[in-house]
Structure 1
């Protein structure tokens, strides 16, 4: 069974952690979620971001998401890939050097990385997107470009995905079908067309 590491924090986007964690578990991956400063069995608060016609998304309190791993005990060599959900968590997780080191280790080892929405903030802070084509929530475009990334314009419905080698990115949770399908493909898994 292939193990996947999820990097999360308080106010991670609810759909962007819950849906991938459950969907990837359902198709046979051993998913492990970790957060700096928290241990297995602790929870992180989630936020629900929705697109309700305003100039940006709205935010509401989501569910509690239970962690089942410990960042301090995480060894990149134990995992086949990395999943980084968006939400508000990436804006402060990018200040944690251990989190950035984990991302750099995954990128340096050539292991698949799936990032959605504001996860681009973490990839930019870790300096792993230079020359990489990627998508993210449109408000993250300046950070992607400043970090040397190549912006791939998301679909109007924010339901597209972008693959550049082993980096699989998407703009927001509406992209889950495309994003998760491409990530499983990059991991070497098989799904029905």
Structure 2
């Protein structure tokens, strides 16, 4: 069984943590969701970002998401892939050097990484985007570019793959983003 690590924090986007967490477990992966300074059994608060015709997304309270692993116990070498949801959590998680070390491990070991929406902020802070094509929520485009990446402006329901990096702009891309990540992980999707 392949193991995946998911980096989350308070005010992670609700859909971007709940949907991939459950979908990846449903197809047989063991997924460990962790947050700095929190233990298994504790929770993070989530926020629901919606697209309602305003100049940017709206934000509403989400659910509590229970962590199933302890951040302090994580050994990145024990995992086959990394998942980085968006929301507001990445804006402060990227300030945690241990988070950045984990992300660098996956990049240096050439393991699959899936990031969506504001998750690109963590990738940029970890300095792993040099020469890589990366999609994200459009407001994160300058960060991708400033980190040496090539921002990919794609439709909200599309995903982009560059080697083992799978990225997407926001939760409407879940079907494509999760499917592309499964392919990069070596799964075969058949209908």
Q: Which runs of 5+ in 1 are unaligned?
A: none
How far does the alpha carbon of each residue in 1:25-68 deviate from its partner, in whole angstroms, 9 at most, with x for none? 00000010000010000000000000001000000010000001
Aligned residues: 191
The answer to whether structure 1 residue 2 and structure 2 residue 2 are counterparts is yes
Segments of structure 2 that go 5 or more residues without pairing to the other structure are: none
Residues 60-79 of structure 1 show CA distances to partners (whole Å, capped at 9, x for unaligned) of 01000000111111111111
| Pair 1:33-2:41 in alignment | no
Q: Structure 1 residue runs of 4+, over 4 Å off?
A: none
Provide the residue aligned with 2:116 in structure 1: 116
Q: What does residue 189 of structure 2 align with? A: 191
Deviation at residue 162 of structure 1 after TM alignment: 0.5
Cα offset for 1:154? 1.2
Alignment partner, residue 90 of structure 1: 90
Q: Show the counterpart of 1:171.
A: 169
Give the match's secondary structure for 2:139. Answer: helix
**What is the TM-score normalised by the length of structure 1?**
0.98
> Please, what is the CA RMSD of the aligned residues?
0.6
**Whole-angstrom CA distance in 2 between matches of 1:42 and 1:27:** 25
